[in-house]
Amino acid sequence: MKRTYVLFPLLAIALPVYAVACGGETQTAPPPPPPPGPTETASAPPPPPASSPVASASAAPPAAPEIPFKPVVDFAALPPLRAAKPDDKKIVAAAGDIKKTHAECAGAPVRVASQATGAFTAKGATETAYVLEWTCGKGKAQTFVHKLLILNDAGKAIREHDVNASQIGGITDLDLDGDNEIVVVSASGALTARLVDVSDGDIKIVYEWAQLGSHDCVNGSQDAPKLVYRKTDKSMDFHAEPAKRACSAAPAASSAAPAKAPPKK
């Protein structure tokens, strides 16, 4: 039987092995580089957006405009003292007996020093406020007693309170409740002013202005402050603006002679 040997495959395997074993190197050609891709044209970056102010979350809100002060009383333009009138005795008679509260004033001369018309105890009321002044005692013991008297339109007394003031400087409705507050002032010697409310039955001092100066005429001028206020969301603010006015001599305390107090039955 004839045998046939296939040597070519074995020889193909053995030759590379033999070449390596004998120090030979087999080199393989590198693959060709890939074809270049499409060239990209670099475009310019877009322009930055226009700058605009950006509100900061922590930025404070704009300040509210300051509320201006409004005048209440100007000492340079106080109402004149009230001249004596025929109905003064009737007005004084409507007040309580002075000697019950001020025994030293029994039989003392009294005058109606000041008056103002408005609604003082209730919204829409027709009332008149008076300041009565008693001159009590003589010489060094002489004193003055002042009362704020409110009469209704029938002439009946509905409020009567002692006040440390010689006249009514003005009236106003600061709280816009329909009834008027009264500014009572002392305009001789040391200047004082009080804003009072009598709508609740008693007298309530809403505000008192202190250290307003003096009525004394010094070197041709005297203090004449302006009393002002403003209402905010949180409070009512009061202030006195210093001012001066020309003077030559202190005016007389009153242009009317005081009348005797009427007898009480």
Record the tokens describing residue 137, joined without a space: 């005692």
pLDDT score at 233: 85
Q: Taking 90 as the threshold, does the pLDDT of residue 6 lie above it?
A: no
Are 151 and 159 in contact, with CB atoms under 8 Å apart? no
Q: Taking 50 as the threshold, does the pLDDT of residue 13 lie above it?
A: no
Range name among 11-15, 87-91, 108-112 with the lowest pLDDT average:
11-15
pLDDT score at 65: 82
Record the tokens describing residue 190, joined without a space: 């040391």
Using alpha carbons, select from 252, 81, 259, 76 the residue that is nearest to residue 166: 81
CA angle, corner 202, sides to 196 and 204, nearest 5? 30
Record the tokens describing residue 261, joined without a space: 């107090």
Position 223 in a domain: yes
pLDDT in tens, 144-183: 999 999 999 999 999 999 999 999 999 999 988 999 999 9
Position 65 in a domain: no
Report the mean per-residue pLDDT for the chain: 82
pLDDT score at 263: 53
Could you tell me which residue, 238 or 15, shows the higher pLDDT? Answer: 238
Q: Taking 80 as the threshold, does the pLDDT of residue 250 lie above it?
A: no
Position 30 in a domain: no
Query: Strand, helix or coil at 202?
Result: coil
pTM of the model: 0.70
pLDDT score at 27: 53
Are 104 and 137 in contact, with CB atoms under 8 Å apart? yes
CA angle, corner 179, sides to 174 and 185, nearest 5? 65
Q: Report in angstroms the alpha-carbon separations of 207 from 19, 204, 221.
A: 121, 9, 27
Using alpha carbons, select from 261, 224, 236, 138 the residue that is nearest to residue 181: 236
Position 18 in a domain: no
Tally of residues, the chain: 265
pLDDT score at 96: 92
Q: Match 């025994």 to its residue by tokens.
A: 103
For residue 234, what pLDDT band results from cuts at 50, 70 and 90?
confident
Are 198 and 150 in contact, with CB atoms under 8 Å apart? yes
Alpha carbons 95 and 78: distance in angstroms, whole number: 25
pLDDT score at 64: 74
Are 199 and 125 in contact, with CB atoms under 8 Å apart? no
pLDDT score at 103: 93
Count of domains in the chain? 1
Q: Taking 50 as the threshold, does the pLDDT of residue 9 lie above it?
A: no
pLDDT in tens, 183-225: 999 988 899 999 999 999 899 999 999 889 999 999 999 999 9
Position 37 in a domain: no
Alpha carbons 159 and 118: distance in angstroms, whole number: 14
Phi, psi (rounded to 5 degrees) for 135: -100, 105
DSSP type of residue 10? H
Q: Taking 50 as the threshold, does the pLDDT of residue 8 lie above it?
A: no
Position 22 in a domain: no
Position 42 in a domain: no
Other beta carbons less than 10 A from residue 259's beta carbon = 14
Find the domain containing 247 and state its range: 70-260
First to last CA, the chain: 178
Q: What is the CA radius of gyration of the chain?
A: 51
DSSP type of residue 141? G
For residue 63, what pLDDT band results from cuts at 50, 70 and 90?
confident
Range name among 63-67, 87-91, 203-207 with the lowest pLDDT average:
63-67
For residue 38, what pLDDT band results from cuts at 50, 70 and 90?
low
Position 13 in a domain: no
pLDDT score at 49: 64
Alpha carbons 256 and 241: distance in angstroms, whole number: 31
